[in-house]
Chain A
Amino acid sequence: MSLFSKFEAVRAGIDSLAAHGRNPFDVRFERVLSATEALLEGQPCLLFGTNNYLGLTFDPSCIEASVRSVQEAGTGTTGSRIANGTYGDHALLERRMAEFYGKRSAMIFTTGYQANLGLISTLAGREDHLLIDADSHASIYDACKLSNAEVIRFRHNDPDDLAHRLRRLEDRPGNCIIVIEGIYSMLGDSAPLHEIAAVKRDTGATLIVDEAHSLGIRGKNGRGVCEDAGVESDVDFVVGTFSKSLGAIGGFAVSDLPDFDLLRVVCRPYMFTASLPPAIVGSVMAALDRMSSDQSLGARVRSNSNRLYCGLAEAGFEVGPEPNPIVAVKLADRESAVQFWNRLLDRGVYANLALPPATPGSVSMLRCSVSAAHTEAQIDRAIATMVAVGRELRVLDARATKTPVSLTGTSL
């Protein structure tokens, strides 16, 4: 038996997807033109499948800061912080993140995945219990695998189920650590933070919130769903990423706990990997400046999200539970989703194809994401294209569906 024979079913799955036209795991843009457009198969394509929520990837001040950093400090750090040293800008970015969240300490990681992997697996020891939302991101599940703790899932966004499961653990030794996300990456629904924080207070558990998809989008100052719900003081650790709203790569964790810095010498996914390169640290700090000083970015991504969400709902699509920058369009089955996704690309609109088992409730869907950089005309064109494809594939009933008046005659 070959080493790879265990992946035969995976190969067959990819082959059957590619038989519809394209391999969704291997979309290759010839050129990325801006935060909202790319060249694909020689044609311009609207990007509605990124996580570029604030549209900062081409921001001149971020690019300039990145170039300056690479010129001043070189292309890479060539090693880890504990073995090869901390650069001044690593420490500065950590201070800036702690200040932004109003917390005592911050740690930066090389990716958001590693931030979850490192923080969760290190905090949860042998006798501890991790209680994770059933719809958690893969990085949270992988962190659980790496930890020595007992791992229990609770029903998605269900504070009563969480409380119930915590009560079952009442007489057991060890700490209970709750892990949730601010906004969930597939359906774009947000956590009931107010209620979950109350469960945390009642039970004395520790609370970790991953704000990867909510930084810069929710809360008066862009600090996420925790800020929005007014429960920041109940949250022991906020985790997040620089790869989405801040347009680069990297992860972070912030906390008020006094021993937080001990993590630097016990957290292996922080200790044994190269630290973020200067170009990234430079652009992230500039993006943080842009996000903090320009409240219109958050306002724009929220209003754009509403436009896409309401436009698709009005046209008759089954969308996710609330308007956020992730807009899920649920489709009947895998076949329709794959066809829909291919036809959208044929017409120059790129969204994400999301299929079971990567989706909650085994739903087949398109995952669209919205940016502050999208123009209203681009959003309207995406809606109009989706309506046209929806009618062709009979996802929408041609007679019953009305095209929103605002969409007639829009162009890129």
Chain B
Amino acid sequence: MTDNASHIEAEILALLARRVPVGVIVAPETQIAGGLGLDSVAILDFIMEIEDRFDISIPLDQVAEVQTIADLSRAIETLTRASN
């Protein structure tokens, strides 16, 4: 994993820590739908927070393909590279 990728993953985990219900443990392999204890609207709101943090827009079809935190991290890395 590159420095950038691990930095992105750490940022995601930090942002999520403030949103998930008490007792939910989040790791790179955690499933976003079902594993975070968040409903679909809360997940989309979290994605918006991520978009603001990294100054990118993640199209909805890409959101649908993202299964785990690690997938999300990879999608962000690709999009930030494309926008630089």
Contacts and interface: CB of A to CB of B under 8 A. Distances in A.
Interface of A: 134, 144, 150-153, 155, 165, 168-169, 356-357, 359-362
B48 interface: yes
Binding site secondary structure of chain B: helix
7 contacts: A144-B60, A151-B59, A151-B60, A152-B60, A165-B57, A168-B55, A357-B39
B3 interface: no
Given A134-B48, A153-B48, A168-B83, A359 B60 contact: no
A127 to B, nearest CB: 12
B28 to A, nearest CB: 25
Interface in B25-75: 39-42, 44-45, 48, 55-57, 59-61
A179 B60 CA distance: 15
A168 B58 CA distance: 11
Nearest to B60: A151
Given A134-B48, A168-B83, A152 B57 contact: yes
Interface of B: 39-42, 44-45, 48, 55-57, 59-61, 83
B32 to A, nearest CB: 14
B61 A151 contact: yes
B78 to A, nearest CB: 14
B61 A150 contact: yes
Contacts of A152: 57, 59-60
Contact of B41 (A144, A165, A168, A360): A360
Contacts of A153: 44, 48, 60
Given A134-B44, A153-B48, A362 B39 contact: yes
Contacts of A360: 41
A165 B45 CA distance: 15
Nearest to B62: A150
Nearest to B42: A362
Contacts of B42: 356-357, 362
A13 to B, nearest CB: 11
B41 A356 contact: yes
A356 B44 CA distance: 13
Nearest to B58: A152
A153 B39 CA distance: 17
